[in-house]
């Protein structure tokens, strides 16, 4: 079955340069917790260095929800960040990710931002994939570890991504059968593996379709400021691959003031303000959780 969300045909606002320091900023309803050093605890987001990378700067972030208690079980949102791209305020760093927190909110979900590992295996990559195999292996080792230690429900793990991360949900998250089997559902915002030619290895459509074949019909929310290219030029011909829902998100309708837009439309912050678009994304998440798991 294909669930297609309402395509809201409102034109996206024109991309603008970075906002100056004295420009108005949104009065956010949600504020992503700052990543700190220290032990994991309810309502805190901490930096974690895996044992395999002790003595390096490779790390992931771990957020335990405000209602977290030892011995209880929680669904998990795993996020991959966008590239370092200053015009949109994207740093490419795990500590600056926002999408997963906006989707899950402050309670009810464990939120993990996984790293892309540089080829030197000493630090996180802020642009593209670094060492792809090391990045894939890191997730395959650490996601089960996180679930075991903090009550993550391994049957209800979602992978999400913005920009580079939207491509990465497939390029990394579907890189092989083992990592593909980890996910209950998928959510991307602005970009899609195979929908456009990008400068990364195996970016051709045939390679992307081979990865997407590992979806095996699972729920997939495709959100973006302009889905025309993704839908009509690519996914409309391959809707059998997943249980797709499409959500057009005009960021300019969410973040506006009389003087004009106050945030770049290509942003992972759009769910930090109430909107019908956030309501639809969260409803998709809850519907997926409430539906029977696949065999």
Per-residue pLDDT tens digits for 55-104: 999 999 999 999 999 999 999 999 999 999 988 889 999 999 999 999 99
* Percent of the chain residues past pLDDT 70, beyond the cut: 87
pLDDT exceeds cutoff 80 at 163: yes
Q: What is the pLDDT of residue 16?
A: 31
User: DSSP letter string over 103-132?
Assistant: HH-SSS-EEEEPPPBPTTSSSB-SSS-SSH
pLDDT exceeds cutoff 50 at 21: no
Would you place residue 6 in the very low, low, confident or very high pLDDT band (cuts 50, 70, 90)? very low
Measure the CA–CA gap between 86 and 92, rounded to whole angstroms. 10
Q: What is the pLDDT of residue 197?
A: 63
Is domain 35-290 classified as CATH 3.40.50.1820? yes
Average confidence (pLDDT) over 137-143: 98
pLDDT exceeds cutoff 50 at 2: no
Length of the chain: 295
pLDDT exceeds cutoff 60 at 254: yes
Average confidence (pLDDT) over 201-218: 93
Q: CB neighbours of 180 closer than 8 A, spacing ≥ 6?
A: 173, 174, 214, 215
Q: What is the pLDDT of residue 210?
A: 96
pLDDT exceeds cutoff 50 at 183: yes
Q: Dihedral angle at the C-alpha atoms of 121, 127, 131, 136, nearest 10 degrees?
A: 100
Average confidence (pLDDT) over 185-207: 87
Q: What is the pLDDT of residue 7?
A: 26
Task: Give the domain ranges of the chain.
Answer: 35-290
Would you place residue 14 in the very low, low, confident or very high pLDDT band (cuts 50, 70, 90)? very low
For the chain, what is the mean pLDDT? Answer: 88
pLDDT exceeds cutoff 80 at 160: yes
pLDDT exceeds cutoff 80 at 261: no
Q: Count Cα neighbours of 181 within 13 Å in the Cβ-side half-sphere.
A: 6
Where do the DSSP E strands lie in the chain?
Answer: 35-36, 45-48, 60-63, 74-80, 110-113, 152-162, 185-189, 219-224, 243-248, 256-257, 260-261
Reported as a single tens digit per residue, the pLDDT across 264-287 is: 888 999 999 999 999 999 999 999
Q: What is the pLDDT of residue 262?
A: 59
Measure the CA–CA gap between 56 and 73, rounded to whole angstroms. 31
CB neighbourhood size of 154 (10 A): 15
Reported as a single tens digit per residue, the pLDDT across 31-57 is: 999 999 999 999 999 999 999 999 999
Average confidence (pLDDT) over 6-23: 30
């Amino acid at each position: 079955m294909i669930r297609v969300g309402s395509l809201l045909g409102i034109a996206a606002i024109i991309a603008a340069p970075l906002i100056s320091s004295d420009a108005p900023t949104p009065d956010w309803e949600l504020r992503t917790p700052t990543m700190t050093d220290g032990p994991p605890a309810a309502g805190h987001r901490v930096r974690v260095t895996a044992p395999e990378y002790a003595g390096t700067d490779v790390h992931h972030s771990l957020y335990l929800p405000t209602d977290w208690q030892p011995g209880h079980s929680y669904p998990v949102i795993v996020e991959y960040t966008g590239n370092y791209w200053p015009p949109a305020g994207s740093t490419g760093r795990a500590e600056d990710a926002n999408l997963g927190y906006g989707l899950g909110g402050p309670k009810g979900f464990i939120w993990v931002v996984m790293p892309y590992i540089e080829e030197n295996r000493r630090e996180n990559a802020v642009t593209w994939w670094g060492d792809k195999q090391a990045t894939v292996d890191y997730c395959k080792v650490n996601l089960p570890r996180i679930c075991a230690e903090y009550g993550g429900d391994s049957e209800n793990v979602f992978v999400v991504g913005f920009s580079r991360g939207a491509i990465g949900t497939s390029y990394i998250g579907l890189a092989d059968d083992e990592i593909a089997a980890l996910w209950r559902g998928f959510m991307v915002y602005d970009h899609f593996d195979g929908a456009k030619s990008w400068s990364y290895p195996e970016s051709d459509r045939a390679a992307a379709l081979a990865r997407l074949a590992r979806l095996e019909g699972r729920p997939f929310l495709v959100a973006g400021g302009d889905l025309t290219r993704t839908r009509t030029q690519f996914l409309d011909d391959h809707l059998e691959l997943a249980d797709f829902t499409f959500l057009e998100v005009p960021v300019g309708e969410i973040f506006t003031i009389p003087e004009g837009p106050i945030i770049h439309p290509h942003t992972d912050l759009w769910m930090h303000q109430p909107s019908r678009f956030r309501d639809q994304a969260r409803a998709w998440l809850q519907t997926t959780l409430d539906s029977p798991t696949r065999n």
